[in-house]
Amino acid sequence: MQVKESLAWLTDVHEAWTGEELRVKLRVEPRRYYEISFVLKRYDKAILDAALFANVLHETATVPDRLRWSLPIWCDMQKLGADLAAGVGTVSGIVTAGYDFRAGGLVALIKARASYEFNRFACLRPEDYELMTIDTFDANSITFTDTTTKDFNAGSLLLPVRVARLDSPVDIVDALGGAQSYDGTAAFQCEVAE
Amino acid sequence: MTELYQSIDVLIFRRIKALRHSTDSALVQIGNATGKDTRDRRMETPDMRLSLEVTLVTRAEIDDFKAFLDTRCGRLVPFWLPAWDYELHSKSSMVYPSANLNFDRTEFVDAYLHSAALHHKRKFLWFWISDADHYADYISAAATVDADTEQVTMHTAVDYEYPLICFLNYCRLDADRIEIVYEGNDLARCVLPVKILQYDAIT
């Protein structure tokens, strides 16, 4: 799956006739955007439509926590080297440097399975994954605020998750066209909100 | 200066290619009723811009690159960029160490001596022999020796022959929003728009 990450700073540049410049920093931290295209199959359109209708993808402030859009940072995905049993509060044998982990942030654990279609919008069922909150982390391990409730075998996926909101309207494009079609695609451009 | 260009040289040397070099002459063409056009300067020097494609093939390279972007803060903080494929060809008759370097003539000297404004963008040379052995120095004088040779005088003597000598451009990113495309977990590409600036700290 191709993921585009954009980092947006803001600078005011005043150019003199001589070519000299005065540059002024207008934003302390860059805004982060991700652009991902998904394939929509079967009920994906209905799920997406419901989310768009409820407007939960466009804002975060007024949306209840259970409906907030958690965006997995797909380009920061890594595999677990060992089994992680239910009831465990720490995952080790991983790399955290350079990945988007932060104390208080979210992490997704996704069960190893060959048949995932990650380019599909609703590719995961609730029993496939678990969202955990990071308490602390060091170079090779993460301690969660709670313990896992599911078993994750070696090869399962671990990836940071950020709360995001859509940055622009989503167009659902039917692949075949006409009333009989059910496949389509949707491109998301979203901004990391917090 | 060493500190400034150290941050990117190895990273971009590995897998970087210039997609486009563009120059805006900074002239405005003014038409009039007689049909005779006049041209007026919009800027003292031409606007020189590059597009560079950087390919990152390991997680460490991606991290280094993002740290580089973080330091740049979009268009805010300049950096040094070797001109790589626009290298100068040394004359084989050179004897080292020497501060005077003879090159195949590129008419750089003509431009260098012609316009004080122009040479502010082209006064540094970068000497490369390996990732561990490279340095930069500035040109203190330049002269045309004969029809095929021009000579630049470096601030300090060059110890031995370097296989790659090219201009070192003082640049900044030309956009505040930079897009990184991840093709996989540790494979990414990025197109960097770059603008060449003038550097006036050393005259």
Report the C-alpha dihedral over residues B98, B103, B108, B112, rounded to 10 degrees.
20
Give the residue from A132, A80, A127, A130 showing the smallest Cα distance to A106.
A132
A47 touches chain B (CB under 8 A): no
ipTM of model: 0.81
The answer to whether the Cβ–Cβ distance between B185 and A4 falls below 8 Å is no
Q: What is the pLDDT of residue B15?
A: 78
- CB contact, 8 Å: A6 with chain B? yes
Separation in Å, CA of A190 to nearest CA in chain B: 13
Distance between A178 CA and the closest CA of chain B, angstroms: 32
User: Interior CA angle at B56 toward B52 and B57, to 5°?
Assistant: 150
Q: Residue A106: what are its φ and ψ, rounded to 5°?
A: -105, 155
Cβ-Cβ contacts under 8 Å, B73 against chain A: 9, 11, 25, 30
Smallest Cβ distance to A19: which of B66, B177, B198?
A: B198
* pLDDT the model gives residue A72: 85
| pLDDT tens per residue, range A80-102 | 999 999 999 999 999 998 888 99
Q: What 3-state class would DSSP assign to A23?
A: strand
Q: Which of A5, A20, A74 faces B180 most closely, judged by CB atoms?
A: A5
Exposure b/e, B152-189, CB count within 10 A at least 16 = b: bebeeebeeebebbbbbbbbbbbbbebbbbbeebebbb
**In terms of CA atoms, which chain B residue is nearest residue A22?**
B76
The reply to whether B49 touches chain A by the CB within 8 Å rule is: no
Name the phi and psi angles at A111, rounded to 5. Answer: -65, 145
Q: Give, in order, the Cα–Cα distances in Å from B122 to each of A24, A136, B99, B109, B170.
A: 25, 50, 17, 10, 9
Q: Given a cut of 50, is residue B20 above it in pLDDT?
A: yes
The reply to whether residue B180 touches residue A77, judged by beta carbons under 8 angstroms, is no
Does A14 touch chain B if contact means CB atoms closer than 8 Å?
no
B118 vs B176, residue with greater confidence: B176
- How do the domains of chain A map onto residue ranges? 2-190
What average pLDDT does range B28-35 have in this prediction?
Answer: 84
- Tell me what percent of the residues of chain B surpass a pLDDT of 70: 86
Asked if A109 and A94 touch (Cβ cutoff 8 Å), the reply is no
Inter-chain CB proximity A7 and B59 less than 8 Å: no
pLDDT in tens, B58-86: 888 898 889 889 989 999 988 888 887 77
Q: Does B164 touch chain A (CB under 8 A)?
A: no
Q: State pLDDT tens for residues B82-122.
A: 887 777 888 877 788 899 999 988 887 777 766 655 566 67
Of A153, A190, A166, A154, which is closest to residue A73 (Cα–Cα)?
A190
Nearest to B76 among A3, A4, A25 (CB): A25
Residue ranges of A 86-145 with Cβ closer than 8 A to chain B: 95, 97-98
Q: Which residue of A has its CA nearest to B61?
A: A98
**DSSP β-ladder status, B124-130 and B133-144:** antiparallel
Mean pLDDT, rounded, for B41-56? 86
- Residue-averaged pLDDT of chain B: 82
Q: Are B51 and B192 in contact (CB under 8 A)?
A: yes
pLDDT for the residue numbered B199: 73
- Top residue of B65, B66, B76 to mutate, by most chain A CBs within 10 Å, is B76
Distances (CA, A) of A80 to A75, A114, A131, B150: 16, 15, 15, 61
Contact of B178 with chain A, judged by CB distance below 8 Å, is answered with yes
pLDDT average, residue stretch B11-39: 79
Residues, chain A, total?
194
CA distances from A100 to A68, A165, B77 (A): 19, 17, 24
